[in-house]
């Protein structure tokens, strides 16, 4: 397989209301193009996945950042994580509401290096200490979410392989609609919603509790072998998940060989890939 740079983005697995599938597809393509410029010009996989996920967080079509779903008290609590596969460093935040881009704060946790996961008000205090602007939680509440009452899993994520063969992954979400306050899902848990190492990079989406119980991201990478390609590994683990635990999930996987997989058992999942030749492919 051709090595990097390669970028793969997802907009979440779930049920898309009429017209939302097209909006999600357009958002994935725009985010992939923005991050691809970094990879094309020699940037790192880590910077690229952050850029892509920040673009998705800024797009109200997705349940991440702006457009996040509301919890049972009508407020927003967001989760995000990011991981560098070359160093196994990672950063994550959970249940934050006053930062514009949770994945940016997760990257700051990674760069600081003392902790991996920070949650709630303490994470927001850390954001202020790092110079991030405090925003009103209302910034993230769109009319679409105020009028919404359905379960969805529109987590967003990105995996990338750069020119030096480094892999990275990032994931961000507003979580489940009507969730109890303080609920943290898989998107902020390393090894569950996000993982990257020398074998590959994974970002997951779906029912967070199911993904946590499976340790899905790390389980997928553990299924990658010399004689097992990315697609086979991802499909094998998803079948195991359905048989052993049940539930709805999806994931994107990029191997160190440049192989990619987009798998899910939901009604749909928006995604976009830009390969080493700059060719774009996308779908829902």
Binding residues for substrate: 183-186, 205-208
Q: What is the 3-state secondary structure (H, E, C) of 71-99?
A: CCCCCCCEEEEEEECCCCEEEEEEEECCC
Catalytic hit among 155, 171, 173, 194: 155
> Under a CB-based contact definition with an 8 Å cutoff, are residues 125 and 219 in contact?
no
> Under a CB-based contact definition with an 8 Å cutoff, are residues 224 and 242 in contact?
no
Residue 30 token pair: 């725009």
Cα 229 from Cα 143, distance rounded (Å)? 43
Q: CA dist 180 to 62, 85, 95, 124, 228, Å?
A: 20, 33, 11, 19, 40
- Compute the Cα dihedral for 4, 116, 94, 101 and give only its sign: negative
**Binding site residue list:** 183-186, 205-208
Question: 3-class DSSP state for residue 63?
Answer: coil
Q: Would residue 125 show up in a list of annotated catalytic residues for this protein?
A: no
Cα 169 from Cα 252, distance rounded (Å)? 10
Preceding peptide of 5 cis, ω within 30°: yes
Q: In this structure, what DSSP letter does residue 179 have?
A: P
Catalytic residues: 155
């Amino acid at each position: 397989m051709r090595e990097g740079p390669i970028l793969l983005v997802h907009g979440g697995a779930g049920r898309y209301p009429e017209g939302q599938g097209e909006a999600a597809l357009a958002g994935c393509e725009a985010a992939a193009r923005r991050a691809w410029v970094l990879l094309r010009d020699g940037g790192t996989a880590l910077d690229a996945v952050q850029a892509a996920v920040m673009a998705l967080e800024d797009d109200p079509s997705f349940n991440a950042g702006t457009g996040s779903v509301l919890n049972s008290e009508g407020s927003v609590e967001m989760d995000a994580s990011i991981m560098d596969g070359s160093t196994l460093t990672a950063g994550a935040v959970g249940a934050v509401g006053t930062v514009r881009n949770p994945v940016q704060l997760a990257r700051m946790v990674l760069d600081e290096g003392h902790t991996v996961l920070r949650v709630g008000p303490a994470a927001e205090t850390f954001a202020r200490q790092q110079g991030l602007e405090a925003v009103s939680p209302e910034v993230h509440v769109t009319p679409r979410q105020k009028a919404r009452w359905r379960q969805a899993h529109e987590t967003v994520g990105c995996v990338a392989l750069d020119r030096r063969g480094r892999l990275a992954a990032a994931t961000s979400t507003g979580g489940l609609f009507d969730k109890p306050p303080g609920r943290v899902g898989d998107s902020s848990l390393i090894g569950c919603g996000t993982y990257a190492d020398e074998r590959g990079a994974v970002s997951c989406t779906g029912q967070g509790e199911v993904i946590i119980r499976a340790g899905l991201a790390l389980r997928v990478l553990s299924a990658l072998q010399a004689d097992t390609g990315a697609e086979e590994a991802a499909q094998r683990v998803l079948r195991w998940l359905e048989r052993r635990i049940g539930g709805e999930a999806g994931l994107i996987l990029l191997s160190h060989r440049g192989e990619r997989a987009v798998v899910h058992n939901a009604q749909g999942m928006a995604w976009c890939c830009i390969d080493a030749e700059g060719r774009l492919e996308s779908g829902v």
